[in-house]
């Protein structure tokens, strides 16, 4: 079985792109066969109508232009798909779409929907076909109980944490101020003091690590970002500002996913999180990524055969 993963350019600051490129890399490192292909501009195509979108993609006007522009990680084994898209209608291919892709623009016969976030969160729309496989990233993704979708009973959690940067090496003896990110929390009211606070949204991992190693607290207005864990690795208190009407158990049903993170702005009134367990879990997840992918390969090969 060969896999084609629909993704945007490699960008170390965008978790979805990191996961998709890493998935391709691991499949190949495990001896499988995987490729990546550029995702189409869904919002633009949807504005022009879904039928027009299919027409554009069936002619695949953007194929050569997009594959040339698709940025990859030079340290990853992520070959770009350069073959005829009609081949994807054969039994030997599985196309993996992230949840932001509407429908099946590649007209693939075998389709996996990898939910890196809850469906409709980013685009407001979601379309699928009968017998598509629904795969969740972790417990933050609500169970996908949609008629016609085949649920995968495990999680496909693939991570690529830059642990050589996020650690306790070179931390400041006296910490000052705070750091914060907005990211997917755009529109939320800012509740912390900005007078001595550093926005990390556009910083590289190297620069973010330096910030975490000198600040006291990290506030994340994005409730689902690995930066909340990266702060912990650098000895910085990690606080997540909740979404409206989302309780702590709704945020992450599995307590282990909440280790080390304060949920809510009144973190001084909360019990100290299990920081050491959080750090251990980070390293465990890195080590477990290959096993997670291996299980997915076994399942998808059996299901689509």
Residue 3 in contact with residue 94, Cβ under 8 Å?
A: yes
The torsion of the CA quartet 288, 294, 300, 302, rounded to 10 degrees, works out to -130
Q: CB within 8 A of 213, min separation 6: which ones?
A: 170, 171, 172, 234, 235, 236
What phi and psi values does residue 219 have, to the nearest 5 degrees? -105, 125
What confidence tier does 87 reach under pLDDT thresholds 50, 70, 90? confident
State the pTM of this model.
0.85
Q: CB within 8 A of 14, min separation 6: which ones?
A: 8
Residue whose pair of structure tokens reads 């080590």 in the numeric block: 287
Q: What local confidence, expressed as pLDDT, does residue 123 receive?
A: 59
Please give the average per-residue pLDDT across 3-18, as a whole number: 94
CB atoms within 10 A of CB 291: 11
Residue whose pair of structure tokens reads 């022009």 in the numeric block: 48
Residue 53 in contact with residue 45, Cβ under 8 Å?
A: yes
Residue 223 in contact with residue 121, Cβ under 8 Å?
A: no
Q: What is the pLDDT of residues 227-239, one digit of tens each?
A: 999 999 999 999 9
CA distances from 76 to 64, 71, 138 (A): 21, 11, 23
Q: What is the pLDDT of residues 166-213, one digit of tens each?
A: 999 999 999 999 999 999 999 999 999 999 999 999 999 999 999 999
Q: What is the mean pLDDT of the chain?
A: 87
Distance CA 140, CA 6 (A): 22
Q: Which of 80, 65, 70 is nearest to 25 (CA)?
A: 80
Q: How many C-alpha atoms does 235 have within 13 Å on its Cβ side?
A: 14
Please give the average per-residue pLDDT across 138-165, as a whole number: 89
CATH of domain 2-159+287-304: 3.40.50
Radius of gyration, alpha carbons of the chain = 20
List beta partners, residue 2: 33, 93
Q: What local confidence, expressed as pLDDT, does residue 264 receive?
A: 86
Distance CA 66, CA 56 (A): 13
Residue 218 in contact with residue 179, Cβ under 8 Å?
A: yes
Q: What is the pLDDT of residues 267-283, one digit of tens each?
A: 666 666 789 999 999 99
Delimit the CATH 3.40.50 region(s) of the chain.
2-159+287-304
* Region for 12 from its dihedrals, namely left if φ exceeds 0, alpha if ψ lies in -120 to 50, beta otherwise: alpha
């Amino acid at each position: 079985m060969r896999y084609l993963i629909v993704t945007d350019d490699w960008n170390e600051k965008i978790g979805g792109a990191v996961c998709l490129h890493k998935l391709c890399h691991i499949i190949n490192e495990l001896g499988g066969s995987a490729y990546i292909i550029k995702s189409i501009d869904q919002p633009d195509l949807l504005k022009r109508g879904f039928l027009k979108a299919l027409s554009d993609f069936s002619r695949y006007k953007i194929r050569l232009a997009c594959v040339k522009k698709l940025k990859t990680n030079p340290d990853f084994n992520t070959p770009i798909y350069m073959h005829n898209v009609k081949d994807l209608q054969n039994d030997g291919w599985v196309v993996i779409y992230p949840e932001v892709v509407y429908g099946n623009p590649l007209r693939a016969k075998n389709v996996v929907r990898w939910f890196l976030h809850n469906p409709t969160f980013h685009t407001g729309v979601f379309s699928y076909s009968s017998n598509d496989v629904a795969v969740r990233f972790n417990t933050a993704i609500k169970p996908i109980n949609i008629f016609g979708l085949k649920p995968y009973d495990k999680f496909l959690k693939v991570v690529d944490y830059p642990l050589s940067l996020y650690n306790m090496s070179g931390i400041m003896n006296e910490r000052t101020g705070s750091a914060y990110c907005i990211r997917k929390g755009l529109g939320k009211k800012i509740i912390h003091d900005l007078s001595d606070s550093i926005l990390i949204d556009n910083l590289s991992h190297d620069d973010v690590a330096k910030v975490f190693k000198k600040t006291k607290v990290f506030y994340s207005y994005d409730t689902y970002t690995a930066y909340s864990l990266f702060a912990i690795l650098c000895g910085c208190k990690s606080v997540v500002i909740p979404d409206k009407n989302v309780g702590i158990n709704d945020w992450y049903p599995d307590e282990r996913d909440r280790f080390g993170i304060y949920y809510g702005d009144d973190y001084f009134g909360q019990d100290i999180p299990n920081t050491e367990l959080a750090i251990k879990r980070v390293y465990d997840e890195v080590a477990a990524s290959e096993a997670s992918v291996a299980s997915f390969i076994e399942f998808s090969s059996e299901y689509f055969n």
